[in-house]
Chains A and B, each alone.
Chain A
Amino acid sequence: MEAPIRAAQFLGFTVFFLLFCVCRSSPLHNLLISNAERRIDLTSHIVKVYLTLKVENAGSTPTSEILLAFPPTQVDHLATVEVLVTKGKRKKTTLVRLDVKPTELPDAPNGTKYFTIYLANPLNSGESMTLEVLYLFTHSLEPFPAEIGQSESQLVYYRDSALILSPYHIKQQATFVKTPSTKVESFTRVEPTNRAGTEMKYGPYEDRPPYSFSPILIHFENNSPFPVVEELVREVEISHWGNLQVTEQYTLVHGGARHKGVFSRVEYQSRPTLSGTSSLRYLLARLPPRVHSVYYRDEIGNISSSHLRTDSRKSELEIEPRYPLFGGWKTTFVIGYGLPLQDFLFESSDDRRYLNFTFGCPLLETVVDKLTVKVVLPEGSKDPSAVVAFPVEQHLETKYSYLDVVGRTVVVMEKKNLVPSHNSHFQVHYTFKPIFMLAEPLMLASAFFLFFVACVAYLHIDLSIRK
């Protein structure tokens, strides 16, 4: 019904693109992509795209920059882009990660956004190389219908292009789309298109000019819950007495199709497979090994439905929210745990210390819209600096905790739109003199000493007026 109209629109769009490209003179045309294969994984609510590009330098000058192009609608939901290149020969291949940075080009057609891949060694003319590109989209599955009842299954739209958007000429390309089940309501056909089981194949298409675009719309069933953490504040507090205390405050929402009408517990309990299939029943958090004093609570008290499994490699915390989350339902909770300090705090060569800790959210398969990581350094720490693998906003704060006088320095890092692959390590370097550890015990001791001296003095002075 709607799809043909959209297709027509996008056809116009494509024509426009093609026209644009013909009259466009670009310094990029000396590169071309001889073969591109794209695999789109739609099984969870995080869309994973694996793109394999074989890039050929057809020009005369060596180049060390390759551009990736994204439509503006997608770039807002783009969580991460990684580019890997295989090195070595035959058996001894290793994957090397390349630098990727967002780039603005002055004459981008229709607001196309670019990312530049910086090659380690320039690509000489006539040579070719293979790039593995992985990028993830969040919030890219649009539930349709937007509201569902308890027993209905969740159907979503996915929008993309059958042709890979690229500033380069692509000689041959194909796109594979994997859906979570065989239940696909509809999909746009751009011949040749095949569908077998849970996989759809668009292509192969040959010799497409730069900026080719052919919109497709896939409407399929995705009953996996869409756990979205709207806001996560992780506070990592370092105590040089040997403990690392982590407190994580979550605002969790089910980002799938909104729940409509009644919630019947009797149906939910008696027919769990039919009723509320897309509801979010539990979450799994992967915590570091040797975790201790784990708690899981919200503002009105402890939540008793959680299990902790620990072994020497990792700890898994399975948490159930107080109630099953249906689409649009929200909840907030706090997870806190302690960790042995020696696993995460190290001394660097220049007599500084650094904390090495994971950045992202420990919940599996979860999108985080906004993450704030606060590293609370011990009182008396100086010159903090943070090293993170990807760009984050940073600033410093001061926090007062138990009996602090000057306050603790807090390194605050903020990032938006995170996916589990952001769970890489970050480092916070700082200097700290161990003598500061004794400040508070000494303060307490002297306070008590003064108190007792005052008591003794009082007992030895007769304050009465009449003798």
Chain B
Amino acid sequence: MAAPEISTAAVPTLYTNNALRNAFGGVLAFFILLLIGVMAFSIRLFSVIKYESVIHEFDPYFNYRVTQFLAKNGIYEFWNWFDDRTWYPLGRVIGGTVYPGLTLTAGTIWWFLNSLNIPLSVETVCVFTAPIFSAFASWATYLLTKEVKGTGAGLTAAALLAMVPSYISRSVAGSYDNEAVAIFALIFTFYLYIKTLNTGSLFYATLNSIAYFYMVCSWGGYTFIINLIPMHVLLCIVTGRFSSRLYIAYAPLVVLGTLLAALVPVVGFNAVMTSEHFASFLVFIILHVVAFVYYIKGTLTPKMFKVAVTLVVSVGLAVCCAVIAVLIALVASSPTKGWSGRSLSLLDPTYASKYIPIIASVSEHQPPTWPSYFMDINVLAFLVPAGIIACFSPLSDASSFVVLYIAASVYFSGVMVRLMLVFAPAACITSGIALSQAFDVFTQSIKFQLPGISSNKEVDAAETSSATAEAQNDAVKTEKSEETSKNRPSKKSKKKEKEEKPSTKAKAEKKRLLALPLDSSVISLLLLILLGAFYVVHCVWAAAEAYSAPSIVLTSRSHDGLHVFDDFREAYAWLRHNTDVDDKVASWWDYGYQTTAMANRTVIVDNNTWNNTHIATVGTAMSSPEKAAWEIFHSLDVKYVLVVFGGLVGYPSDDINKFLWMVRIGGGVFPHIKEPDYLRDGQYRIDSQATPTMLNCLMYKLCYYRFVETDGKGFDRVRQTEIGKKYFKLTHFEEVFTTHHWMVRIYKLKPPKNRIRGKTKKSKSKTSSTSSRAKISGTGKKNPWH
């Protein structure tokens, strides 16, 4: 959008000059934004260039599969999709348990392109969705920051966000996850909130609810919005900034937003039933009370008002108490006190590791370390405080929001690595403000002290021109401070208001600017540029080296060139083509999504960890001795067992390293699995010192079966040790496939033997009469034929 035109009559000589300058500025800003978009898109393509156009990691494979289903079967089938290829034998209602925003977005893009006869595959669209939306996100950042501190800060913030490593890590091409579109939705919702707050326009308030709806569709992180905005509203009320604009910005959002959010199947009545949303309703009530108080204040005399206040406060308090009591009663009646596990672990960082091993076992749910801050936001960490200070001078509704946003997101990012992603945009916005303000100050002081301009006549001209430039920057600010009550500016009615401002403002500016000496401002400017350059270098490095590995194909550089480890896909391709289409494959839940998407086989558990007992059953099987494991798997109708083993090539995130989590999760439900049995003096080891339980469990056996024959010693390159038990045979499983680098090994359950059938029955009834009986029958997963 072009900058607002400057009024004409006052300075006729400067008119053409200024108009040109502003038009040029608008076009320049537009092109800068375009380039920022292109950069945001292209910096995320390293993964395609260095590897290939492929879906990354684990969750994206599920989203990809859902999108494929959507593209093939249409939207109605999608809502009713019951997926029987996962969580066997329970299945999963995909349509009702998935955040559909990402899938619908990619599906719509695909449908649109195909209706233009552009034959892109669903995969291609999915791969490039995240980069496209990060370009959108940087534009949204521009809009948001522009609302807060003007165009310059907006452009800087957009440029910073386009390449912030934290966001890149979740949105490289191929990283087809909810966060890819959710960050855009988050920033855009905030922008519309601020825009509404600045203009008081109901139009923007409605848009805001729709943007909020899109965010709810996209990501569970929408609760951040629905808690942050009420906090800001409360802050405004407390600091005496209540206005009709605030009311317009908030009330429609709560009403419309909640109604819309309840339309999303996965949220449904949670939008009014869980505690994550209660803060917004509470603030909604408070807002009305305050609005009422202001209204009364306006109509009554001060004396009458005092009387009314006491009346209203007492009645209001009573009503509030009643409502709160009802709410608390509602909340208390639900089992988790209305809070979901993930949210609780947000409030109490130690909650997850204490009570829910399945949440704690995910690395992205751990608290981050200090280096990860430097890695993920780099120099922004230093600029953020400066930005916060800049937000305070002067403090407006919008800038107070930014301060609140950054404070909240710093806390949340400290709890969970994953929420760095929410922190990154806030850091970019504040740093953008800081950088742009610093540049403003330095360039202005240089401009004033350059000898060429400092002669008397030109000072005036320079002053006015800079002032008008300033005015242009501040246009939004002035608008919001002055015409807010009138609002709804049509494009042409904007012009009048800006005339008074420049002259008075220019003098104040001049005084402040003259304080900085020339040389120091030049040096600081250079240093700032250096800082920016450092940031760019770091971001490009992070995008190219750290965050673009797709993790399903690994590479390593050695003296004889690049070596590719494509074992995962080798195994999945084998499963896909050489097993029966209805065979069930058991593996640890990490590989569930990939197995269903790439191998198209039914899995027992997957990355959607909704049923802890089911996961615990698989964990128990993996940590049991062979025979017991066979019985568990057989009762689940499993045909193949897949394990990931990195010992031959030194791939560290394999199943042996994850094994303790299987023990913990299994032991949490089936108490006969005890973690100490697998540890020797508190240490986890697989060498000859390991405990017999460890050396006899299924996971150990499946990983190290015939491993000793590779080098004669059985040296595990991940654990850097020789394995404890080298020669053993499998009696209930047989190896059917091992990939080239041994990273994936697939075993088949041997069929039950006819002759000893009576015997197995007996032993089974014996085991079930012991400790595990209650659990297995309680979960209802026992083979019904026994």
- Of B336-344, B406-414, B729-737, the segment with at least 4 beta carbons within 8 Å of chain A is B729-737
Say yes or no: is A332 at the interface (Cβ < 8 Å to chain B): yes
Say yes or no: is B299 at the interface (Cβ < 8 Å to chain A): no
A264 and B119 contacting across the interface, CB-CB below 8 Å: no
Q: A262-B735, A270-B709, A402-B119 are in contact. Are A329 and B564 (CB under 8 A)?
A: no
Interface 1/0s, chain B 720-746, versus A by CB < 8 A? 000000000000001111111010000
Residue of chain B at shortest CB distance from A333: B573
B52 and A323 contacting across the interface, CB-CB below 8 Å: no
A329 to B736, CA, bound (A): 12
Contacts of A263 in B (CB 8 A): 735-738
Interface residues of A in 303-352 (CB under 8 A from B): 303-305, 322-323, 328-332
B491 and A322 contacting across the interface, CB-CB below 8 Å: no
Contacts of B52 in A (CB 8 A): 301-302
Interface residues of A in 235-281 (CB under 8 A from B): 261-266, 269-270
Contacts of A400 in B (CB 8 A): 117, 119
Say yes or no: is A404 at the interface (Cβ < 8 Å to chain B): yes
A289 to B578, CA, bound (A): 35
B491 and A466 contacting across the interface, CB-CB below 8 Å: no
Say yes or no: is B570 at the interface (Cβ < 8 Å to chain A): yes
Q: A262-B736, A402-B119 are in contact. Are A303 and B566 (CB under 8 A)?
A: yes
Contacts of A404 in B (CB 8 A): 117
Contacts of A261 in B (CB 8 A): 734
A263 to B569, CA, bound (A): 18
A403 to B118, CA, bound (A): 6
A323 and B739 contacting across the interface, CB-CB below 8 Å: yes
Interface residues of A in 399-418 (CB under 8 A from B): 400-405
Q: How far is the CB of B594 from chain A (nearest CB, A)?
A: 9
A401 to B706, CA, bound (A): 52
Say yes or no: is B490 at the interface (Cβ < 8 Å to chain A): yes
Contacts of B735 in A (CB 8 A): 262-265
Please pick, from A264, A304, A462, A464, the residue contacting B564 in the complex, using a CB distance under 8 A: A304
Residue of chain A at shortest CB distance from B118: A402
Interface residues of A in 90-139 (CB under 8 A from B): none
Q: How far is the CB of A58 from chain B (nearest CB, A)?
A: 58
A331 and B116 contacting across the interface, CB-CB below 8 Å: no
A42 to B738, CA, bound (A): 33
A329 and B577 contacting across the interface, CB-CB below 8 Å: yes
Say yes or no: is A298 at the interface (Cβ < 8 Å to chain B): yes
Say yes or no: is B54 at the interface (Cβ < 8 Å to chain A): yes
Say yes or no: is A300 at the interface (Cβ < 8 Å to chain B): yes
Contacts of A270 in B (CB 8 A): 709-710
A467 to B491, CA, bound (A): 10
Contacts of B54 in A (CB 8 A): 300-302
Contacts of A403 in B (CB 8 A): 116-118
B734 and A266 contacting across the interface, CB-CB below 8 Å: no
Say yes or no: is B285 at the interface (Cβ < 8 Å to chain A): no
Contacts of B759 in A (CB 8 A): none
Say yes or no: is B553 at the interface (Cβ < 8 Å to chain A): yes
Please pick, from B117, B736, B738, the residue contacting A402 in the complex, using a CB distance under 8 A: B117
B573 and A298 contacting across the interface, CB-CB below 8 Å: yes
Contacts of A467 in B (CB 8 A): 490, 493
Say yes or no: is B766 at the interface (Cβ < 8 Å to chain A): no
A426 to B378, CA, bound (A): 62
Q: How far is the CB of B638 from chain A (nearest CB, A)?
A: 18
Q: How far is the CB of A399 from chain B (nearest CB, A)?
A: 9
Contacts of B706 in A (CB 8 A): 264, 266
A462 and B553 contacting across the interface, CB-CB below 8 Å: no
B569 and A322 contacting across the interface, CB-CB below 8 Å: yes
Residue of chain B at shortest CB distance from A464: B490
Q: How far is the CB of B603 from chain A (nearest CB, A)?
A: 16
A302 to B491, CA, bound (A): 53
Q: How far is the CB of A461 from chain B (nearest CB, A)?
A: 10
A464 and B570 contacting across the interface, CB-CB below 8 Å: no
Q: How far is the CB of A277 from chain B (nearest CB, A)?
A: 18
A466 and B734 contacting across the interface, CB-CB below 8 Å: no
Contacts of B572 in A (CB 8 A): 300
Interface residues of A in 274-300 (CB under 8 A from B): 298, 300
Q: How far is the CB of A264 from chain B (nearest CB, A)?
A: 6
Contacts of B786 in A (CB 8 A): none
Contacts of B738 in A (CB 8 A): 263-266
Say yes or no: is B492 at the interface (Cβ < 8 Å to chain A): yes
Q: How far is the CB of B522 from chain A (nearest CB, A)?
A: 40
Q: A400-B117, A464-B490 are in contact. Are A331 and B564 (CB under 8 A)?
A: no
Say yes or no: is B281 at the interface (Cβ < 8 Å to chain A): no
Contacts of A464 in B (CB 8 A): 488, 490-493
- If A266-B738, A329-B578 are given as contacts, then 8 extra A-B residue pairs at C-beta distance below 8 Å, sorted by A number, are A264-B735, A301-B552, A304-B564, A323-B574, A331-B573, A332-B577, A402-B117, A402-B119
Using a CB–CB cutoff of 8 Å, the interface residues on chain A facing chain B are 261-266, 269-270, 298, 300-305, 322-323, 328-332, 400-405, 462, 464, 466-467
22 contacts between A and B (CB under 8 A): A263-B736, A263-B737, A264-B735, A265-B735, A266-B710, A266-B738, A300-B569, A300-B572, A301-B52, A301-B54, A305-B566, A322-B570, A322-B573, A323-B574, A328-B578, A401-B119, A402-B117, A403-B116, A403-B117, A403-B118, A405-B117, A466-B490
